[in-house]
Amino acid sequence: MTALVIYDSVFGNTEKIALAIGAALSAPTLPVGQATPEQVSGLGLLVVGSPTRGFRPTEAVSKFLNELPKNDLAGVQVASFDTRIALETIDSSVFRFIVDKGGYAASTIAKLLEKKGGKLLAPGEGFIVMGEQGPLKEGELERAAEWAKQLI
């Protein structure tokens, strides 16, 4: 099966997760800026990930997915992931509540993938960073690899 992992990352944490997923799937792993619509149509599996910023994916990820031609992902199995901040690292209880309820990038990505015809294999998965710039919570790279393996 031909698989591809596409991601965006500002501080490098989502990139580490994406590379762990790519290694588990033996799939090429591309920053979204290097991905083209032609590369994703006809894949067996497409996995897309982004940091959660303002409750949603980065502009680059949303733009890439929104601009895919209609039904570009017909016949493609899809899955999504994000990175998100550990709630316990947020000092303000009000802000903690807002972040908890605001939503996360992976579910938005999953909806966009389905909108373009992809067949969603699993609910979007979140991986935890211990502060805005990371580092990743201990064990998240291993959990990402396990998550990827259960997709196939």
Ligand X SMILES: Cc1cc2nc3c(=O)[nH]c(=O)nc-3n(C[C@H](O)[C@H](O)[C@H](O)COP(=O)(O)O)c2cc1C
List interacting residues with ligand X (CB under 6 A): 9-14, 51-55, 83-85, 99, 102, 129, 132, 134
The minimum distance between CB 89 and ligand X, in angstroms, equals: 10
Shortest Å distance, C-beta 47 to ligand X = 15
| Identity of the residue, 53 or 119, whose beta carbon is nearer to ligand X in the bound complex | 53
What 3 state SS string does the chain have?
Answer: CCEEEEECCCCCHHHHHHHHHHHHHCCCEEEHHHCCHHHHCCCCEEEEEEECECCECCHHHHHHHHCCCCCCCCCCEEEEEEEEECHHHCCCHHHHHHHHHHCCHHHHHHHHHHHCCCEECCCCEEEEECCCCCCECCCHHHHHHHHHHHHC
Q: Closest separation between CB of residue 50 and ligand X, Å?
A: 8
Residue placing its CB nearer to ligand X in the complex, 19 or 121: 19
Cβ 75 to ligand X shortest distance, Å:
30
CB of 105 to ligand X, least distance (A): 8
Q: Which is nearer to ligand X, 52 or 108 (CB)?
A: 52
- Which is nearer to ligand X, 57 or 73 (by Cβ)? 57
CA–chain centroid gap for 146, Å, is: 15
Nearer to ligand X, 15 or 72 (CB): 15
Give me 138's structure tokens: 């201990």
